Chain A
Amino acid sequence: AQSVTQLDSHVSVSEGTPVLLRCNYSSSYSPSLFWYVQHPNKGLQLLLKYTSAATLVKGINGFEAEFKKSETSFHLTKPSAHMSDAAEYFCVVESGANNLFFGTGTRLTVIP
């Protein structure tokens, strides 16, 4: 069975400091993993995806994520937070049964 756990419902960082949003997954086979971002009153936008190629994946807006099979993790990072990064972030795992499982989301607050 597939599932995804976002370990923090809310993360608060100061502008210019690093961002770490944690995601652990459970999958019975090698999954595809994604991070999406949702700004208020907007739809979701793909940040990056892992599909069994390089384990370090670079996405848009300076975000990246590292797939660690031994830790079943796919944490999202950014070296320096910007005010425009304030949003909700969703980690997603794709199952082989034509389905996507979304984490419960992490709300990122950036303090000026």
Chain B
Amino acid sequence: KAGVTQTPRYLIKTRGQQVTLSCSPISGHRSVSWYQQTPGQGLQFLFEYFSETQRNKGNFPGRFSGRQFSNSRSEMNVSTLELGDSALYLCASSLESLAASNTGELFFGEGSRLTVL
């Protein structure tokens, strides 16, 4: 079956703009979590959505937001972009919420590489 699909794969924005990234999970997966990967900070958890509800949120400012639709597809939005937002944004899907037992097996997309100029 198809894997996790992220769009767009690459994009360039300027400071102050906003961006929306999309993630389509594996069919049947209800949890989508988002991560930011940068050379300096490594991989950091942004938030998780499960059944259209945000279940948990990492330590990021309110400019970072997301949502999940009834078909489990998720979007994340970053407003008022800053240079430091340049990163690879990864999403991952799983059958159950990260809170469920024996979880942790995440299926990652290839990421959306955002460059802010």
Contacts and interface: CB of A to CB of B under 8 A. Distances in A.
Given A43-B90, A94-B103, A100 B108 contact: no
Given A98-B97, A100-B45, A45 B105 contact: no
A104 B35 CA distance: 13
Contact of A104 (B42, B55, B58, B102): B42
A100 B18 CA distance: 27
Contacts of B56: 97-99
A98 B4 contact: no
A101 B45 CA distance: 8
Q: Identify whether the interface residues of A are mostly helix, strand, loop, or mixed.
A: strand
Interface in A33-61: 34, 36, 41-46, 49, 51
Interface of B: 4, 33, 35, 42-45, 48, 55-56, 58, 90, 92, 97-99, 102-111
22 contacts: A32-B102, A32-B103, A36-B106, A36-B108, A42-B111, A43-B4, A43-B109, A43-B110, A44-B90, A44-B106, A44-B108, A45-B108, A49-B105, A51-B102, A92-B104, A94-B98, A98-B55, A98-B99, A100-B106, A102-B43, A102-B44, A105-B43
